[in-house]
Amino acid sequence: MAKVPVQFTLNGSEKAEFVESGTTLLNALRDKIGDTSPKGGCHQGTCGACSVIVDGELRLSCLTLAETCNGAAITTTSGLAEGGVLHPLQRAFLDAFATQCGFCTPGMLMAAKVLLDHTPDPSRDDVVEALSGNICRCTGYEPIIQAVLTAARANSQNAA
């Protein structure tokens, strides 16, 4: 099958790959590039475990073709901590017991990050809405919602 070249930045570093036409971004990231932080839970756009950020927007990488990401800036959970310092969301998920098996966690973090990037001071309803595409089967949503609200508060304190 024909291979197509794709180039994008992943968590700030340049990547160039040849992928089979039709390869999902999820498979390209995991199998080709070796960033396994996005998880495949359903491969059909219903669980949110594969969520990544493409040019500032939340995207389901299982439904995104790698070849459509040429020139894009992609962020995944493995790029969230900077210089070994956890992002406030990561810190809050740790502290608030918002992660049990952890399989949904990378997707949750990405959805939460996009929310906080656009809405630094979200209401509880905003958080619920932002996480509504992500399924967690272990933790229950309340600790996750609380973690996102805590991270938002930490952020606004830093900003102040």
Partner 1 sequence: MELRKSYFSDVRKDDLNEIGQPRPRSDSPGHVTGKTAYFADRNFPGMLHLKMVRSPHHHARIRSIDTSEAEKHPGVVKILTARDVPHNVYTILILIQIGPEDEAVLADGKVRWKGEAVVAVLAETERAAQEAAAKVKVDYEVLPAVFDMEEALKPGAPLVNEYHGQNYYLYDSGECRKVRFGDVEAGFAEADYVLEQSYQSSPIEHAPTETTGCIVAPEGNDRFTCYTNTQAMFFTLDNTSIILQMPGSKLHFVGGTVGGGFGGKVDVIVEPIAILGAKLTGRPVCFTYSREEEMQISSPRAAEKVVIKDGVMKDGRIVARKVTGYTDAGAYSRHSPYGAQKGAGHYPGPYTIPNVWIDTYCVYTNRTPSSAMRGFGVTIGDFALEVQMDKLARLIGMDPLEFRFINAYRDGDMKAHRQPTEGAALIECMQEASRAANWPVAEKYMAMSSYAKGA
By CB under 6 A, which span of 7-15, 45-53, 111-119, 146-154 interacts with ligand FES? Answer: 45-53
In contact, 155 and 145? CB cutoff 8 Å: no
- What's the min distance (Å) between Cβ of 99 and partner 1? 4
Q: Output the CA angle 111-117-119, nearest 5 degrees.
A: 95
The answer to whether residue 135 forms part of the interface with partner 1 (CB under 8 A) is yes
What are the distances in angstroms from CA 158 to CA 38, 55, 88, 92?
28, 25, 10, 14
For partner 1, the closer CB: 9 or 40: 40
Binding partner at 50 among ligand FES, partner 1, none, C-beta below 5 to 8 Å by kind: ligand FES
Classify residue 19 by its DSSP letter.
E
Quote the CA–CA distance of 135 and 28 in Å, as a whole number: 23
Q: What is the Cα–Cα distance from 31 to 29, expressed in whole angstroms?
A: 6
Q: Is there binding between residue 102 and ligand FES (CB under 6 A)?
A: yes
- The answer to whether 8 touches 23, Cβ cutoff 8 Å, is no
Counting contacts by CB under 8 A, is residue 105 touching partner 1? yes
For 90, other C-beta atoms within 10 Å of its C-beta total 20
Is residue 37 a contact point for partner 1 (CB under 8 A)? yes
Give the β-pairing of 51-54 and 13-20. Answer: unpaired
Q: Which stretch binds ligand FES (CB under 6 A): 15-23, 41-49, 77-85, 123-131?
A: 41-49
Applying CB under 8 A, the site for partner 1 has a residue count of: 40
Binding stretches for ligand FES (CB under 6 A): 40-43, 45-50, 60, 62, 99-104, 136-139
Binding stretches for partner 1 (CB under 8 A): 30-31, 34-44, 46-47, 49, 76-78, 80-81, 86, 90, 93-95, 97, 99-106, 109, 135-138
